[in-house]
Structure 1
């Protein structure tokens, strides 16, 4: 991206690298805060006879010099403001100190070697290590060497069954477009050409001959924002050019899908193909790889459920599904008769949401009870064996393992317990601590409380509130309320260094498990979609009111935060109830609900949102809450720091650009409206640690400063 320098007035006098600006100078600059001029151009759309103005449509063009100039000018203002906050660097130092400890993932065996990811502390990207059977450790892949600024990340690895080759993916600048490189694992020499334009896919091996991957046709315009509508499954044979890759599925008039997945069964006898029109529901097929040119075997021929292959053992097909089971179940069928009328329940549906995983010769039923983990072990006959004892209340996740394995691992964490790894004996169910981080953080100093509050329509919604023991709960503490509420995604307790820093400084951290998520299965998800989307916002508003009414914080000390669909949540709530919070922090949000489906693969989100093209009723519903269209002149909005990345090709940055422009032009009080545009960054995955730490310092110092703190809350 080219950059253009634009004079912006008073803030140029404030150097972005000042470590200890004088408070008086900073205060004067903030009071004179002047935003860059954002030109309005007449653009009007007709939706079912209703005219809708879109004066900042020009900001959708991410290739134009005008947009790049605007980005440069906005960042100049934003970073001038942020770097002038007296304790910003103090918070940054706290985050660096807390982050600077060895981090590890559960190991996995490939061939005769064991692999695992490790970060020594402040490395921008995690490093993939290898250990041989003699215990000798070596660096296998170090993404920190991929780019000098740490913005090229390792986006996935897939090994052949014998471990002789690996296909690894890289993401540049946070983009969802990936490149695949094949290595000989013994020599680490590249085999064949780099495969490009992979999206929403890995490289899934068939024997040692080649691998399957998914791609879209490359857009003619901007690859970061142009619509990508039809996903296709290809097969790449090692030693051939990508131009010779065989189209296996998709892109034909008979079968078009926005998202396609293709991978090989563990016994390498079947290719498993899934096709989706939206992010919920999909068709499912099998292809017998033992028979050349074999036809597709239909398992599920409609989009009414989320059904996945859990395992294939001989002629038995094991599936996880929510078909006629909103909370999920495991079924088994003969692979010769795989359609739903032949399915038999193996692990029936319960009142709790099920996410199963296979490890060795067992199925581990991972249940979610009010967003808290419970794990039960079954054999492949459906016999219950035992419940796995967990260290405490929190989130546990079992790692998959090969059929021959006798042990596996599971991770455990909660809002005040850093992620630890436990070894699990598959035959006895015994567990032992394998690894715990040596971090300067004492879980015993913190506490969590789960509450159930009442939303607008009477629905009970869970929320977990965490804080340092001794934090005053009299309404004077600063609080961050976090939410998502969409796409069947569940927010279970996790440990986060940013929020550990926040709580160490006297802050309260609350996560509301609002509708639209998957905490209570399909029904909970559907209750926050399309014409029920307002439930999501009402649930979050009720969470904020609960925190205030019960004196965990006050309106003047409350920040609301969320990303992606959660960014939409923040945008909608702050425009509907600007009086309820002091600070709003929307990250990479979907802000233009009338046009979101016109960019990249956004049309696939229609299950949750509906689109403005569907009907007049759907248009009017979206128009009523779309953040970009509900900023009203003469309203005092909370202090707002919008976050986005200039390479975000999932939720294009134009959403955030247009929202910030609307807020800046219509803000009726002195509360700042700033947009922080991370350059050479995408939707979030692969963001370098150094950039994450800067973001922590920025959102926390911005929040506390606008809550009125002249020094950190816990400083006397």
Structure 2
């Protein structure tokens, strides 16, 4: 990925963006008008500030080279094409200089493993957009198991989260005439079978929760008008959302269920039975991860005392499918895996016969294969993969036991292995290797620890030259995410290496609390009014870097996006003396009005509810970046980036923060891409421009 890495790969849930709300008067907040995303007045403000920032950054002597290098790396033909098993072939979504919006294409497995696969284009998104006069962005395909012939393709306008869903036939390579179609909306759609969909959407205007999600689930039969779909379940407007899912295993078993989201982390799970939905008696912070050999696999984000003391937060459990369908109110769980003190669950997937589990051990990746045994047990073996890297399972095949496994690190180009997890032993064959994108021969990766304000040890990775002089003069870029139980692990970035490390910069990834690197407890340590400890962790890592003389405040910059953008905003206002550059990307910054802007109401499980809890309001009154900017403070000049099409976090936070800085006559650079959704851009050129603007800013501040 580029330097515009918005942490995590999976970020926040999407939601309908709102216009300016009236809960706060313009006297209290003079920039409410900037919350009206597409108004002429707001866009005039955006265009004026874009012009000023572009004039500064694109006139820098480095910009054109940085842009060319970022685009070359992002569109390189020798990137590893991410594979997906579907309908007996390998599918891949691909973007390059000739296909800026991308093509969905296919080849055989044997051909995929060759040095030069022969691809057949299935869907050309650039051509589709040109034909239809739309700025289409491919948002993925959901293909119906087991034959995976029919797929639901999601297309968004300019990269926003709202999408149009169309049925596609892989045999004909065409959209299905008079097939399933759901108009643009924040919709959840799941295949029930070839002739039925389970859909939650805004059926009539206003059928949305306070968070902006649909809460009414219906069944749509092929050929039936959408307006006449049959209602299955109705949540309430105070829920976050209602959505459905259907799990399949390699032996023809299925499990259809719905989830009623109470908040971002808590939900009720209901089994879809012939007599209607029936509540499944599992913890509210438990998720159905897979269905393997007739066993439902559950990941537990909270302890399950009723099941026994070994069912701790972070564990993996199973339920017998048949027994669960027969009696959802009395499940009989069995433990599969429980984490050690420095371990956490990283991912769960499956093949036809096997359960695949990836874990973190002190933020180092591990991959395991679980083979079902008679009586409900498992035979477990560890895959022999390089240590000190991020490893995990990629695409898996439901019709065989083939699985792709990935491994990469800061200085280790990504490798994609293919293995038959059903065979004995740990045979791994290299299917694809990424060519090195920068010279890493003079660099080294270290894992260190800083001591936070409460004495907790906070691990972090630092990448730097082997011959570094410890005099505080190394330009250093530091990042973290710190929220939503998202784990931050080492990754290979050609742009980061070429545009930063090769130029003598150091890079730091901090595993602060709020993430999931050490399981649910690491996340819960910073929830709601406890969030200050997350910001303390980050500052502690910075001070540790300075104490070791790896860098100094003059040479230290920080960067983060989304919830990481909130982190950057908090560090900007709390510790302006620690940094000389701050990149604030697609951020949350106004935590008092968060529930009135875009997705804010759905994230109260993470941040607390300022409208209902006085303690939460008091905390954010003294912590929210937008409300805590002050005149007379020597802040560094930040680079604030957002996108107009971000209907997840919304551009309102960034706009208002910049406007308040302008009112206070504080220096800043602001850039708002008009497309891109909650990311760097809607196509490769937009993303490369964002990367080049960001890197130009960082080099001006930290390397000059």
Task: Tell whether the structures are fold-level matches, with TM greater than 0.5.
Answer: yes
Cα 1:686–1:79 change in 2 (3 A) is closer
Taking structure 1 as the reference length, the TM-score comes to 0.85
What does residue 498 of structure 1 align with?
495
Is residue 2:342 matched to residue 1:342? Answer: no
**TM-score (structure 2 length as normaliser):** 0.86
Partner in structure 2 of residue 140 of structure 1 = 122
> Which aligned pairs between 1:233-248 and structure 2 lie closer than 5 A?
233-248=217-232
Structure 2 counterpart of 1:322: 301
Counterpart among 243, 246, 253 of residue 260 in structure 1 = 243
Deviation of 1:686 after TM superposition, in Å, equals 6.6
Partner of 2:100, secondary structure, is coil
| Residue of structure 2 in register with 1:36 after alignment | none
Residue 131 of structure 1 is matched in structure 2 by 107
Q: Does 1:486 align with 2:466?
A: no
Q: Please, which of 268, 272, 284 is the counterpart of residue 283 of structure 1?
A: 268
Partner of 2:674: 679
C-alpha distance in structure 1 between counterparts of 2:386 and 2:95, whole Å: 24
Q: CA deviation at 1:394?
A: 1.2
Task: Give the Å deviation of 1:328.
Answer: 2.3
Which SS does the other structure have where 1:77 is aligned?
helix
Q: In the aligned structure 2, how far is the partner of 1:134 from the partner of 1:417?
A: 26
Matched, 1:180 2:165: yes
Corresponding residue number in structure 1 for 2:8: none
Distance 1:473 1:142, change over 3 A: farther
Alignment RMSD (CA, Å): 2.9
1:215-244 CA-to-partner distances (Å, cap 9, x unmatched) read: 2457679x9x99515433333333333223
Instruction: Give the secondary structure class of the aligned counterpart of 2:129.
Output: coil
Q: How far apart are the structure 1 equivalents of 2:27 and 2:606? A: 23
Q: Which has the higher contact order (CA 8 A, sep 6+)?
A: 2
Alignment partners' CA distance in 1, 2:108 and 2:139: 24
Cα deviation, 1:101-138, whole Å, max 9, x if unaligned, reads 43234433323333233445674344322125895630
Per the alignment, residue 297 of structure 1 pairs with: 278
Deviations along 1:671-700, one digit per CA (max 9) or x if unpaired, are: x30211001221117731111111111111
Q: Distance in 2 between matches of 1:265 and 1:398?
A: 18
Tell me which residue corresponds to 2:194: 208
Task: Report SS of the residue matched to 1:416.
Answer: coil
SS of the equivalent of 2:356 reads strand
Alpha-carbon distance, 1:497 to partner: 2.9
Unaligned runs of 5+ in 2: 1-19, 112-117, 304-311
Q: Separation in 2 of the partners of 1:121 and 1:257?
A: 40
1:339-378 pair list within 5 angstroms: 339=329, 342-351=332-341, 352-354=343-345, 355-378=347-370
Q: Does 1:622 align with 2:620?
A: yes
Pairwise CA distance, 1:294 = 2.6
Q: In structure 1, what is the equivalent of residue 183 of structure 2?
A: 196
How far the C-alpha of 1:510 sits from its partner, in A, is 0.4
Write the distance in 2 (CA, Å) between the matches of 1:122 and 1:561.
31
Whole-Å separation in 2 of the counterparts to 1:489 and 1:132:
34
Secondary structure of 1:234's match?
Answer: strand
Distance 1:700 1:69, change over 3 A: same
Relative distance call for 1:277 and 1:124 in structure 2 (3 A) is farther
1:281, CA displacement in angstroms? 2.2
Could you say if the C-alpha distance between residues 696 and 685 of structure 1 is closer, same or farther in structure 2, counting changes exceeding 3 Å?
A: closer
Q: Distance in 1 between matches of 2:676 and 2:702?
A: 29
In the alignment of these two chains, the number of paired residues is 652
CA distance in 1, matches of 2:383, 2:110: 31
Q: Equivalents in 2 of 1:634, 1:616: separation in Å?
A: 30
| Cα separation, partners in 2 of 1:686 and 1:95, compared to 1, 3 Å | closer
1:32 is matched with none
Which of 654, 657, 661 is matched with 1:656 structurally? 654
Residues 321 and 328 of structure 1 are in contact (CA less than 8 Å); yes or no, is this contact kept in structure 2? yes
Structure 2 SS opposite 1:300: coil
Q: Is 1:331–2:318 an aligned residue pair?
A: yes
For residue 441 of structure 1, the aligned residue among 438, 444, 460 is 438
Query: Which residue of 520, 523, 541 corresponds with 2:521?
Result: 523
CA distance in 2 between counterparts of 1:130 and 1:600 reads: 36
- Which stretch of structure 1 is more off in the superposition, 53-62 or 125-134? 125-134
Counterparts in 2 of 1:119 and 1:63: CA distance versus 1, 3 Å = closer
Matched-pair contact (CA < 8 Å) for 1:230–1:250:
no
3-state DSSP class of the match of 2:73? helix
Partner residue of 1:152 out of 117, 133, 136:
136
Equivalent residues in 2 for 1:433-582, closer than 5 Å = 433-500=430-497, 501-582=499-580
